[in-house]
Structure 1
Amino acid sequence: MPTALITGASAGLGAEFARQLARRRADLVLVARTEDALNALGAELRSEYGVAVEVLAADLADESGVEKVAERLRDTTDPIDLLVNNAGFGLPLQFADNDIDDEVRHLRVHVEAPMRLMHAALQSMRGRGGRIINVASVAGFISRSTYSACKSWLIGFSRWANAEYASDGVTVTALCPGFTHTSFHERMGLAVGDEGVPGFLWLNARDVVRAGLRDAALGRSVSVPSLRYKLIVGISRSLPSALTSRVARRGRV
Protein backbone atom coordinates (compact mmCIF):
# COMPACT_ATOMS: atom_id res chain seq x y z
CA MET A 1 0.00 0.00 0.00
CA PRO A 2 1.31 3.48 -0.83
CA THR A 3 1.42 6.02 2.00
CA ALA A 4 0.54 9.70 1.53
CA LEU A 5 1.35 12.57 3.89
CA ILE A 6 -1.00 15.55 3.58
CA THR A 7 -0.51 18.90 5.29
CA GLY A 8 -3.50 21.08 6.06
CA ALA A 9 -5.51 17.86 6.10
CA SER A 10 -8.22 18.81 8.59
CA ALA A 11 -10.42 20.70 6.11
CA GLY A 12 -10.81 21.95 2.56
CA LEU A 13 -8.63 20.52 -0.19
CA GLY A 14 -6.50 18.66 2.34
CA ALA A 15 -9.46 16.68 3.65
CA GLU A 16 -10.59 16.01 0.08
CA PHE A 17 -7.13 14.69 -0.81
CA ALA A 18 -7.37 12.40 2.21
CA ARG A 19 -10.77 11.06 1.19
CA GLN A 20 -9.85 10.44 -2.43
CA LEU A 21 -6.57 8.77 -1.53
CA ALA A 22 -8.23 6.61 1.11
CA ARG A 23 -10.78 5.57 -1.50
CA ARG A 24 -7.80 4.41 -3.58
CA ARG A 25 -6.63 2.39 -0.55
CA ALA A 26 -3.64 4.57 0.31
CA ASP A 27 -2.53 4.72 3.93
CA LEU A 28 -2.38 8.25 5.28
CA VAL A 29 -0.42 10.59 7.52
CA LEU A 30 -2.62 13.59 8.27
CA VAL A 31 -0.99 16.86 9.36
CA ALA A 32 -2.66 20.00 10.72
CA ARG A 33 -2.64 22.20 13.81
CA THR A 34 -5.94 20.87 15.21
CA GLU A 35 -5.54 17.35 16.54
CA ASP A 36 -9.24 16.87 17.33
CA ALA A 37 -10.25 17.55 13.72
CA LEU A 38 -7.55 15.18 12.45
CA ASN A 39 -8.67 12.43 14.81
CA ALA A 40 -12.27 12.80 13.66
CA LEU A 41 -11.28 12.59 9.98
CA GLY A 42 -8.93 9.70 10.69
CA ALA A 43 -11.66 7.71 12.43
CA GLU A 44 -14.01 8.33 9.50
CA LEU A 45 -11.48 7.12 6.93
CA ARG A 46 -10.41 4.06 8.90
CA SER A 47 -14.04 3.03 9.33
CA GLU A 48 -15.12 3.65 5.75
CA TYR A 49 -12.06 2.46 3.80
CA GLY A 50 -10.07 0.27 6.17
CA VAL A 51 -6.85 2.19 5.64
CA ALA A 52 -4.19 3.01 8.22
CA VAL A 53 -4.28 6.65 9.34
CA GLU A 54 -1.57 8.35 11.39
CA VAL A 55 -2.28 11.76 12.91
CA LEU A 56 0.47 14.34 13.29
CA ALA A 57 -0.49 17.64 14.94
CA ALA A 58 1.97 20.37 13.93
CA ASP A 59 1.99 24.12 13.26
CA LEU A 60 3.95 24.71 10.06
CA ALA A 61 4.51 28.35 10.94
CA ASP A 62 6.71 27.09 13.76
CA GLU A 63 10.18 25.66 13.15
CA SER A 64 9.66 22.78 15.57
CA GLY A 65 6.38 21.89 13.85
CA VAL A 66 8.03 21.75 10.43
CA GLU A 67 10.87 19.62 11.78
CA LYS A 68 8.37 17.20 13.34
CA VAL A 69 6.82 16.58 9.93
CA ALA A 70 10.20 16.54 8.16
CA GLU A 71 11.41 13.83 10.51
CA ARG A 72 8.43 11.67 9.52
CA LEU A 73 9.20 12.26 5.83
CA ARG A 74 12.82 11.19 6.27
CA ASP A 75 11.79 7.89 7.90
CA THR A 76 12.93 5.12 5.56
CA THR A 77 11.49 2.28 7.68
CA ASP A 78 7.92 3.41 6.88
CA PRO A 79 8.44 5.65 3.86
CA ILE A 80 6.11 8.25 2.40
CA ASP A 81 5.25 7.73 -1.28
CA LEU A 82 3.24 10.92 -1.84
CA LEU A 83 3.68 14.29 -0.16
CA VAL A 84 0.86 16.82 -0.54
CA ASN A 85 1.96 20.30 0.57
CA ASN A 86 -1.47 21.84 1.07
CA ALA A 87 -1.33 23.84 4.33
CA GLY A 88 -2.05 27.53 3.92
CA PHE A 89 -4.11 30.52 4.96
CA GLY A 90 -5.09 33.89 3.54
CA LEU A 91 -4.54 37.47 4.62
CA PRO A 92 -6.25 40.70 3.57
CA LEU A 93 -4.89 41.97 0.28
CA GLN A 94 -3.61 45.30 1.65
CA PHE A 95 0.01 44.39 2.40
CA ALA A 96 0.88 47.77 3.97
CA ASP A 97 -2.07 47.43 6.36
CA ASN A 98 -1.26 43.89 7.49
CA ASP A 99 0.75 43.13 10.61
CA ILE A 100 4.24 42.30 9.36
CA ASP A 101 4.50 39.35 11.76
CA ASP A 102 1.40 37.87 10.11
CA GLU A 103 3.01 38.37 6.71
CA VAL A 104 6.17 36.58 7.86
CA ARG A 105 4.12 33.69 9.23
CA HIS A 106 2.26 33.59 5.89
CA LEU A 107 5.59 33.35 4.06
CA ARG A 108 6.81 30.56 6.32
CA VAL A 109 3.71 28.42 5.78
CA HIS A 110 3.47 28.98 2.02
CA VAL A 111 7.16 28.93 1.03
CA GLU A 112 9.56 27.84 3.75
CA ALA A 113 7.52 24.88 5.00
CA PRO A 114 6.91 23.32 1.54
CA MET A 115 10.58 23.79 0.64
CA ARG A 116 11.79 22.13 3.83
CA LEU A 117 9.27 19.30 3.59
CA MET A 118 10.19 18.67 -0.05
CA HIS A 119 13.85 18.54 0.96
CA ALA A 120 13.04 15.97 3.65
CA ALA A 121 10.84 13.90 1.33
CA LEU A 122 13.53 13.73 -1.34
CA GLN A 123 15.91 12.11 1.15
CA SER A 124 13.77 8.97 1.13
CA MET A 125 12.21 9.23 -2.36
CA ARG A 126 15.26 9.60 -4.58
CA GLY A 127 16.03 6.30 -6.27
CA ARG A 128 12.95 4.67 -4.74
CA GLY A 129 10.43 6.93 -6.47
CA GLY A 130 7.65 9.13 -5.21
CA ARG A 131 5.35 12.02 -5.94
CA ILE A 132 5.07 15.52 -4.51
CA ILE A 133 2.06 17.77 -5.05
CA ASN A 134 2.44 21.41 -4.05
CA VAL A 135 -0.93 23.14 -3.82
CA ALA A 136 -0.36 26.54 -5.44
CA SER A 137 -2.97 28.70 -7.18
CA VAL A 138 -3.73 30.48 -10.42
CA ALA A 139 -2.90 33.56 -8.33
CA GLY A 140 0.72 32.53 -8.90
CA PHE A 141 0.40 33.62 -12.54
CA ILE A 142 -0.77 37.17 -11.75
CA SER A 143 0.35 40.12 -9.63
CA ARG A 144 -1.39 40.19 -6.26
CA SER A 145 0.35 40.87 -2.98
CA THR A 146 2.40 38.31 -1.08
CA TYR A 147 -0.09 35.47 -1.65
CA SER A 148 0.52 35.69 -5.38
CA ALA A 149 4.27 35.98 -4.86
CA CYS A 150 4.36 32.88 -2.63
CA LYS A 151 2.37 30.82 -5.11
CA SER A 152 4.50 32.03 -8.02
CA TRP A 153 7.60 30.82 -6.18
CA LEU A 154 5.99 27.45 -5.53
CA ILE A 155 5.08 27.02 -9.21
CA GLY A 156 8.57 27.90 -10.40
CA PHE A 157 10.26 25.67 -7.84
CA SER A 158 7.96 22.75 -8.70
CA ARG A 159 8.73 23.10 -12.41
CA TRP A 160 12.46 23.00 -11.73
CA ALA A 161 12.25 20.10 -9.24
CA ASN A 162 10.07 18.01 -11.56
CA ALA A 163 12.75 18.17 -14.24
CA GLU A 164 15.67 17.86 -11.83
CA TYR A 165 14.49 14.74 -10.01
CA ALA A 166 12.74 12.88 -12.84
CA SER A 167 15.79 10.65 -13.24
CA ASP A 168 15.44 9.71 -9.56
CA GLY A 169 11.87 8.58 -10.11
CA VAL A 170 10.32 11.57 -8.32
CA THR A 171 7.67 13.81 -9.86
CA VAL A 172 6.77 17.27 -8.52
CA THR A 173 3.50 18.93 -9.52
CA ALA A 174 2.20 22.40 -8.69
CA LEU A 175 -1.59 22.20 -8.45
CA CYS A 176 -3.04 25.59 -9.40
CA PRO A 177 -6.79 25.82 -8.80
CA GLY A 178 -8.87 28.93 -9.17
CA PHE A 179 -11.63 29.89 -6.74
CA THR A 180 -12.68 26.66 -5.03
CA HIS A 181 -15.53 25.96 -2.62
CA THR A 182 -13.72 25.19 0.66
CA SER A 183 -13.50 26.76 4.12
CA PHE A 184 -10.51 28.91 2.99
CA HIS A 185 -12.60 32.04 2.43
CA GLU A 186 -14.67 31.49 5.58
CA ARG A 187 -11.49 31.46 7.69
CA MET A 188 -10.70 34.90 6.25
CA GLY A 189 -14.07 36.13 7.54
CA LEU A 190 -15.74 36.21 4.11
CA ALA A 191 -19.29 34.94 3.73
CA VAL A 192 -20.40 33.24 0.52
CA GLY A 193 -20.98 35.96 -2.06
CA ASP A 194 -18.69 38.51 -0.36
CA GLU A 195 -15.75 37.77 -2.65
CA GLY A 196 -17.26 39.49 -5.70
CA VAL A 197 -16.53 36.44 -7.88
CA PRO A 198 -18.99 35.25 -10.57
CA GLY A 199 -20.52 31.85 -9.90
CA PHE A 200 -19.13 30.23 -13.05
CA LEU A 201 -15.56 30.75 -11.78
CA TRP A 202 -16.04 28.56 -8.71
CA LEU A 203 -14.64 25.02 -8.78
CA ASN A 204 -15.60 21.92 -6.83
CA ALA A 205 -12.95 20.56 -4.44
CA ARG A 206 -13.51 17.00 -5.69
CA ASP A 207 -12.71 18.02 -9.26
CA VAL A 208 -9.64 20.00 -8.22
CA VAL A 209 -8.15 17.09 -6.27
CA ARG A 210 -9.00 14.59 -8.99
CA ALA A 211 -7.21 16.76 -11.57
CA GLY A 212 -4.17 17.16 -9.32
CA LEU A 213 -3.82 13.43 -8.70
CA ARG A 214 -4.26 12.69 -12.40
CA ASP A 215 -1.65 15.22 -13.53
CA ALA A 216 0.79 14.10 -10.85
CA ALA A 217 0.43 10.51 -12.10
CA LEU A 218 1.20 11.78 -15.61
CA GLY A 219 4.33 13.52 -14.35
CA ARG A 220 3.16 17.04 -15.20
CA SER A 221 4.93 19.90 -13.44
CA VAL A 222 1.87 22.18 -13.41
CA SER A 223 -1.80 21.27 -13.10
CA VAL A 224 -4.48 23.90 -13.78
CA PRO A 225 -7.92 22.31 -13.21
CA SER A 226 -10.69 23.21 -15.68
CA LEU A 227 -10.55 24.61 -19.19
CA ARG A 228 -11.80 28.04 -18.09
CA TYR A 229 -8.83 28.56 -15.78
CA LYS A 230 -6.39 27.26 -18.37
CA LEU A 231 -7.72 29.98 -20.68
CA ILE A 232 -7.51 32.61 -17.94
CA VAL A 233 -3.88 31.70 -17.20
CA GLY A 234 -3.02 31.81 -20.88
CA ILE A 235 -4.63 35.22 -21.36
CA SER A 236 -3.12 36.67 -18.18
CA ARG A 237 0.40 36.09 -19.48
CA SER A 238 -0.16 38.62 -22.26
CA LEU A 239 -1.79 41.30 -20.10
CA PRO A 240 0.03 44.07 -18.19
CA SER A 241 0.51 43.33 -14.50
CA ALA A 242 -1.26 46.58 -13.52
CA LEU A 243 -4.46 45.31 -15.16
CA THR A 244 -4.32 41.78 -13.72
CA SER A 245 -3.60 43.24 -10.29
CA ARG A 246 -6.75 45.40 -10.42
CA VAL A 247 -8.88 42.45 -11.51
CA ALA A 248 -7.37 40.23 -8.81
CA ARG A 249 -8.49 42.60 -6.05
CA ARG A 250 -12.03 41.32 -6.57
CA GLY A 251 -11.31 38.21 -4.55
CA ARG A 252 -8.80 35.67 -3.31
CA VAL A 253 -8.10 32.44 -5.12
Structure 2
Amino acid sequence: MSKIDYRTQTTLITGASAGLGAEFARGFAERGSNLVLVARRADRLETLADELSAKHKITVTVVPFDLTVPAAGEALAKEVARRGITVTSLVNNAGFGTHAPFRQDDPERMQQEIGLNVSSLVDVTRAFIDQLTGVLVNVASTLGYQPWPNAAVYGATKAFVLSFTEALWQESRGTGLRVLAISPGPTRTEFFDALGSDDMARGVPKQTPRQVVTTALRALDRRNPPPSVVSGTFNWVGTLVSRFTTRRVTALAFGAMTQWQMGSSRSGH
Protein backbone atom coordinates (compact mmCIF):
# COMPACT_ATOMS: atom_id res chain seq x y z
CA MET A 1 0.00 0.00 0.00
CA SER A 2 1.51 3.32 -1.08
CA LYS A 3 2.09 6.13 1.38
CA ILE A 4 -0.57 8.84 1.56
CA ASP A 5 0.17 12.29 0.21
CA TYR A 6 -1.74 14.35 2.75
CA ARG A 7 -1.34 17.45 0.61
CA THR A 8 -4.06 16.01 -1.63
CA GLN A 9 -6.39 15.35 1.31
CA THR A 10 -9.18 17.26 3.01
CA THR A 11 -9.62 15.85 6.52
CA LEU A 12 -12.76 16.32 8.59
CA ILE A 13 -12.20 16.07 12.35
CA THR A 14 -15.05 15.92 14.87
CA GLY A 15 -14.60 17.17 18.40
CA ALA A 16 -11.85 19.43 17.05
CA SER A 17 -12.16 22.29 19.51
CA ALA A 18 -9.82 20.86 22.16
CA GLY A 19 -7.79 17.89 23.33
CA LEU A 20 -7.19 15.04 20.93
CA GLY A 21 -9.33 16.62 18.20
CA ALA A 22 -7.27 19.80 18.16
CA GLU A 23 -4.05 17.76 18.23
CA PHE A 24 -5.23 15.62 15.31
CA ALA A 25 -5.88 18.87 13.45
CA ARG A 26 -2.32 20.01 14.13
CA GLY A 27 -0.91 16.64 13.08
CA PHE A 28 -2.75 16.56 9.76
CA ALA A 29 -2.01 20.24 9.11
CA GLU A 30 1.71 19.60 9.56
CA ARG A 31 1.44 17.00 6.80
CA GLY A 32 -0.25 19.47 4.46
CA SER A 33 -3.88 18.33 4.62
CA ASN A 34 -6.68 20.84 4.31
CA LEU A 35 -9.07 20.62 7.24
CA VAL A 36 -12.74 20.76 8.15
CA LEU A 37 -13.06 21.32 11.90
CA VAL A 38 -16.33 20.28 13.53
CA ALA A 39 -17.49 20.95 17.11
CA ARG A 40 -20.06 23.01 18.96
CA ARG A 41 -17.68 25.71 20.21
CA ALA A 42 -17.23 27.98 17.21
CA ASP A 43 -14.88 30.41 18.95
CA ARG A 44 -12.34 27.72 19.73
CA LEU A 45 -12.57 26.32 16.22
CA GLU A 46 -11.95 29.77 14.72
CA THR A 47 -8.88 30.31 16.91
CA LEU A 48 -7.44 26.94 15.91
CA ALA A 49 -8.28 27.51 12.24
CA ASP A 50 -6.46 30.86 12.25
CA GLU A 51 -3.41 29.25 13.86
CA LEU A 52 -3.17 26.33 11.44
CA SER A 53 -3.96 28.17 8.22
CA ALA A 54 -1.36 30.84 8.97
CA LYS A 55 1.33 28.38 10.06
CA HIS A 56 0.89 25.71 7.39
CA LYS A 57 -0.68 27.63 4.47
CA ILE A 58 -3.62 25.24 4.24
CA THR A 59 -7.36 25.78 3.89
CA VAL A 60 -9.21 25.32 7.17
CA THR A 61 -13.01 25.39 7.23
CA VAL A 62 -14.90 25.74 10.50
CA VAL A 63 -18.28 24.02 10.80
CA PRO A 64 -19.98 24.61 14.17
CA PHE A 65 -22.25 21.59 14.53
CA ASP A 66 -24.04 19.57 17.20
CA LEU A 67 -23.44 15.89 16.49
CA THR A 68 -26.15 14.81 18.94
CA VAL A 69 -28.97 15.85 16.59
CA PRO A 70 -30.90 13.09 14.77
CA ALA A 71 -29.37 11.98 11.45
CA ALA A 72 -26.24 13.97 12.29
CA GLY A 73 -24.17 12.38 9.53
CA GLU A 74 -26.52 13.27 6.73
CA ALA A 75 -26.99 16.81 8.02
CA LEU A 76 -23.24 17.35 8.41
CA ALA A 77 -22.52 15.93 4.94
CA LYS A 78 -25.10 18.28 3.42
CA GLU A 79 -23.58 21.28 5.19
CA VAL A 80 -20.08 20.37 4.01
CA ALA A 81 -21.30 19.79 0.45
CA ARG A 82 -23.13 23.13 0.53
CA ARG A 83 -19.77 24.77 1.09
CA GLY A 84 -18.34 23.03 -1.96
CA ILE A 85 -16.00 20.77 0.02
CA THR A 86 -15.20 17.12 -0.68
CA VAL A 87 -13.97 15.31 2.41
CA THR A 88 -11.39 12.60 1.66
CA SER A 89 -10.22 11.68 5.18
CA LEU A 90 -12.17 11.48 8.44
CA VAL A 91 -11.28 11.46 12.14
CA ASN A 92 -14.17 10.60 14.47
CA ASN A 93 -12.97 11.99 17.78
CA ALA A 94 -16.11 13.51 19.35
CA GLY A 95 -17.29 11.73 22.48
CA PHE A 96 -17.55 11.93 26.26
CA GLY A 97 -17.73 9.64 29.28
CA THR A 98 -19.72 9.31 32.48
CA HIS A 99 -18.34 7.94 35.74
CA ALA A 100 -20.69 6.51 38.33
CA PRO A 101 -22.16 3.19 39.42
CA PHE A 102 -24.67 2.24 36.73
CA ARG A 103 -27.61 2.35 39.16
CA GLN A 104 -26.75 5.96 40.01
CA ASP A 105 -25.96 7.23 36.52
CA ASP A 106 -28.36 9.71 34.96
CA PRO A 107 -30.45 7.91 32.28
CA GLU A 108 -30.69 10.93 29.99
CA ARG A 109 -26.96 11.56 30.19
CA MET A 110 -26.25 7.91 29.40
CA GLN A 111 -28.45 8.07 26.31
CA GLN A 112 -26.55 11.16 25.14
CA GLU A 113 -23.28 9.31 25.74
CA ILE A 114 -24.37 6.33 23.66
CA GLY A 115 -25.77 8.62 21.00
CA LEU A 116 -22.59 10.63 20.53
CA ASN A 117 -20.01 7.87 21.08
CA VAL A 118 -21.78 5.24 18.99
CA SER A 119 -24.75 6.39 16.91
CA SER A 120 -23.27 9.66 15.67
CA LEU A 121 -19.90 8.04 14.93
CA VAL A 122 -21.58 5.37 12.80
CA ASP A 123 -23.85 7.94 11.15
CA VAL A 124 -21.00 10.30 10.23
CA THR A 125 -18.86 7.42 8.98
CA ARG A 126 -21.67 6.14 6.75
CA ALA A 127 -22.34 9.62 5.38
CA PHE A 128 -18.74 10.13 4.22
CA ILE A 129 -17.18 6.71 3.66
CA ASP A 130 -17.99 6.44 -0.05
CA GLN A 131 -15.85 9.50 -0.78
CA LEU A 132 -12.91 8.71 1.51
CA THR A 133 -9.60 7.99 -0.23
CA GLY A 134 -7.11 8.70 2.54
CA VAL A 135 -7.71 7.63 6.14
CA LEU A 136 -10.56 6.88 8.51
CA VAL A 137 -9.54 7.15 12.16
CA ASN A 138 -11.96 6.34 14.97
CA VAL A 139 -10.94 7.18 18.53
CA ALA A 140 -11.65 4.21 20.79
CA SER A 141 -10.10 3.69 24.25
CA THR A 142 -8.19 1.16 26.29
CA LEU A 143 -11.48 0.77 28.20
CA GLY A 144 -12.82 -0.86 25.04
CA TYR A 145 -10.63 -3.89 25.83
CA GLN A 146 -12.05 -4.66 29.27
CA PRO A 147 -15.06 -3.96 31.47
CA TRP A 148 -14.55 -1.02 33.81
CA PRO A 149 -16.96 -0.78 36.75
CA ASN A 150 -18.31 2.75 37.32
CA ALA A 151 -17.70 3.51 33.66
CA ALA A 152 -19.71 0.61 32.28
CA VAL A 153 -21.49 2.56 29.56
CA TYR A 154 -18.43 4.48 28.41
CA GLY A 155 -16.30 1.33 28.18
CA ALA A 156 -19.05 -0.45 26.25
CA THR A 157 -19.33 2.39 23.73
CA LYS A 158 -15.59 2.21 23.10
CA ALA A 159 -15.72 -1.56 22.73
CA PHE A 160 -18.28 -0.94 20.00
CA VAL A 161 -16.01 1.61 18.30
CA LEU A 162 -13.10 -0.81 18.40
CA SER A 163 -15.06 -3.74 16.94
CA PHE A 164 -16.81 -1.55 14.36
CA THR A 165 -13.56 -0.04 13.13
CA GLU A 166 -11.72 -3.33 12.88
CA ALA A 167 -14.57 -4.71 10.76
CA LEU A 168 -14.38 -1.66 8.46
CA TRP A 169 -10.62 -2.19 8.20
CA GLN A 170 -11.26 -5.61 6.69
CA GLU A 171 -14.06 -4.36 4.42
CA SER A 172 -11.81 -1.58 3.12
CA ARG A 173 -8.85 -3.76 2.19
CA GLY A 174 -7.91 -3.22 -1.44
CA THR A 175 -9.71 0.14 -1.70
CA GLY A 176 -6.72 2.30 -0.72
CA LEU A 177 -8.54 3.65 2.34
CA ARG A 178 -6.56 3.21 5.56
CA VAL A 179 -8.81 2.47 8.55
CA LEU A 180 -7.57 2.63 12.13
CA ALA A 181 -8.95 2.55 15.65
CA ILE A 182 -6.63 4.41 18.04
CA SER A 183 -7.06 3.49 21.71
CA PRO A 184 -5.63 6.03 24.13
CA GLY A 185 -5.39 5.44 27.85
CA PRO A 186 -5.62 8.36 30.28
CA THR A 187 -4.62 11.50 28.39
CA ARG A 188 -4.06 15.10 29.51
CA THR A 189 -7.20 16.62 28.00
CA GLU A 190 -10.49 18.13 29.19
CA PHE A 191 -12.01 14.63 29.30
CA PHE A 192 -11.77 14.32 33.06
CA ASP A 193 -13.22 17.80 33.56
CA ALA A 194 -16.29 16.76 31.59
CA LEU A 195 -16.34 13.44 33.44
CA GLY A 196 -16.48 15.21 36.78
CA SER A 197 -13.85 12.88 38.27
CA ASP A 198 -10.30 11.72 37.68
CA ASP A 199 -10.73 8.52 39.71
CA MET A 200 -10.54 6.43 36.54
CA ALA A 201 -6.95 7.58 35.95
CA ARG A 202 -5.72 7.73 39.53
CA GLY A 203 -2.30 6.09 39.80
CA VAL A 204 -2.03 5.66 36.02
CA PRO A 205 0.47 7.71 33.94
CA LYS A 206 -1.18 10.11 31.50
CA GLN A 207 0.00 10.63 27.94
CA THR A 208 -0.09 13.93 26.09
CA PRO A 209 -2.43 14.42 23.12
CA ARG A 210 0.66 14.72 20.93
CA GLN A 211 1.86 11.28 21.95
CA VAL A 212 -1.50 9.72 21.08
CA VAL A 213 -1.72 11.43 17.69
CA THR A 214 1.87 10.52 16.87
CA THR A 215 1.06 6.87 17.60
CA ALA A 216 -1.92 7.01 15.25
CA LEU A 217 -0.06 8.72 12.41
CA ARG A 218 2.88 6.33 12.66
CA ALA A 219 0.50 3.38 12.45
CA LEU A 220 -1.12 4.89 9.36
CA ASP A 221 2.34 5.35 7.79
CA ARG A 222 3.09 1.63 7.88
CA ARG A 223 3.18 -0.29 4.63
CA ASN A 224 0.40 -2.52 5.95
CA PRO A 225 -1.37 -0.54 8.71
CA PRO A 226 -3.03 -2.53 11.51
CA PRO A 227 -6.78 -2.30 12.20
CA SER A 228 -6.16 -0.91 15.68
CA VAL A 229 -3.37 0.31 17.92
CA VAL A 230 -3.05 1.11 21.62
CA SER A 231 -1.15 4.29 22.46
CA GLY A 232 1.57 3.86 25.08
CA THR A 233 3.45 0.78 26.29
CA PHE A 234 1.88 0.90 29.78
CA ASN A 235 -1.59 1.05 28.25
CA TRP A 236 -0.81 -1.77 25.81
CA VAL A 237 0.33 -4.02 28.64
CA GLY A 238 -2.92 -3.23 30.47
CA THR A 239 -4.98 -4.48 27.55
CA LEU A 240 -3.20 -7.84 27.67
CA VAL A 241 -5.02 -8.72 30.90
CA SER A 242 -8.27 -9.28 29.03
CA ARG A 243 -6.52 -11.37 26.37
CA PHE A 244 -4.89 -13.90 28.69
CA THR A 245 -7.44 -14.28 31.48
CA THR A 246 -11.09 -15.28 31.69
CA ARG A 247 -13.82 -12.66 31.46
CA ARG A 248 -14.65 -13.34 35.11
CA VAL A 249 -11.10 -12.66 36.27
CA THR A 250 -10.87 -9.56 34.10
CA ALA A 251 -14.06 -8.07 35.53
CA LEU A 252 -12.98 -8.83 39.10
CA ALA A 253 -9.49 -7.42 38.53
CA PHE A 254 -10.66 -4.13 37.13
CA GLY A 255 -13.37 -3.92 39.76
CA ALA A 256 -10.68 -4.19 42.45
CA MET A 257 -8.63 -1.52 40.70
CA THR A 258 -11.63 0.79 40.59
CA GLN A 259 -12.28 0.31 44.30
CA TRP A 260 -8.64 1.06 45.05
CA GLN A 261 -8.72 4.23 42.97
CA MET A 262 -11.88 5.48 44.65
CA GLY A 263 -10.50 4.63 48.11
CA SER A 264 -7.28 6.44 47.29
CA SER A 265 -9.30 9.48 46.17
CA ARG A 266 -11.26 9.58 49.44
CA SER A 267 -8.08 9.28 51.53
CA GLY A 268 -6.44 12.13 49.63
CA HIS A 269 -3.61 10.10 48.07
> By the TM > 0.5 criterion, same fold?
yes
Pairwise CA distance, 1:67 = 2.9
Q: 1:195 to 1:132 in 2, by over 3 A?
A: same
Instruction: Answer yes or no: is the 8 Å Cα contact 1:58–1:66 preserved in 2.
Output: no
Task: Indicate yes or no: 2:170 matched with 1:139.
Answer: no
Matches within 5 A, 1:19-168: 19-63=26-70, 65-71=72-78, 78-125=85-132, 129-144=133-148, 145-168=152-175
Amino acid at match of 2:203: P
Indicate whether 1:202 and 2:172 are aligned: no
In the other structure, the counterpart of 2:229 is: 223
Deviation at 1:64, TM superposition (A): 5.4
Matched residue SS, 1:111: helix
Which amino acid letter does the alignment assign opposite residue 255 of structure 2? S
Give the percent of matched residue pairs that are identical in Structure 1 and Structure 2: 31
In structure 2, C-alpha distance between the alignment counterparts of 1:102 and 1:66, rounded to whole Å: 21
1:243 corresponds in structure 2 to: 253
Question: How many angstroms apart in 2 are the aligned matches of 1:98 and 1:182?
Answer: 23
**Matches of 1:72 and 1:215 in 2, distance apart?**
31
TM-superposed deviation, 1:234 = 1.1
Q: Contact conserved, 1:132 with 1:172, CA < 8 A, in 2? A: yes
Rounded Cα–Cα distance in structure 2 between residues aligned with 1:158 and 1:165: 10
- Flag structure 1 segments of 5+ consecutive residues without an equivalent: none
Sort the Cα spacing of 1:245 and 1:72 in 2 relative to 1 into closer, same or farther, 3 A.
Answer: farther
Describe the shift of the 1:196–1:204 C-alpha distance in structure 2 as closer, same or farther (beyond 3 A).
closer
Letter in 2 for 1:136: A
Conserved? CA contact 2:73–2:125, under 8 Å = no
Contact 1:133 1:216 (C-alpha < 8 Å) held by counterparts: no
SS at match of 2:155: helix
Alpha-carbon offset, residue 94 of structure 1: 1.8
| Structure 2: tracts of 5 or more residues without a match | 1-6, 263-269
Q: Which amino acid aligns with 2:42?
A: E
Q: Do the aligned partners of 2:36 and 2:60 also contact (CA within 8 Å) in 1?
A: yes
CA deviation after TM superposition for structure 1 residue 232, in Å: 1.2
Cα distance, 1:196 vs. partner?
Answer: 5.6
SS in 2 for 1:60: coil
* Higher Rg of the two aligned structures: 2
In the TM superposition, what whole-angstrom CA distance separates every residue of 1:195-226 from its partner, at most 9, and x where no partner exists? 56225x21111010011112123321111112
SS in 2 for 1:237: helix
SS at match of 2:244: coil
Q: How many residues of Structure 1 are paired with residues of Structure 2 in the alignment?
A: 245
Alpha-carbon distance in structure 2 between the residues aligned to 1:247 and 1:44: 41
Counterpart of 1:4 in structure 2 is 11
CA distance in 2, matches of 1:195, 1:146: 14
State whether residues 136 and 154 of structure 1, in contact with CA within 8 Å, keep that contact through their aligned partners in structure 2. Answer: yes
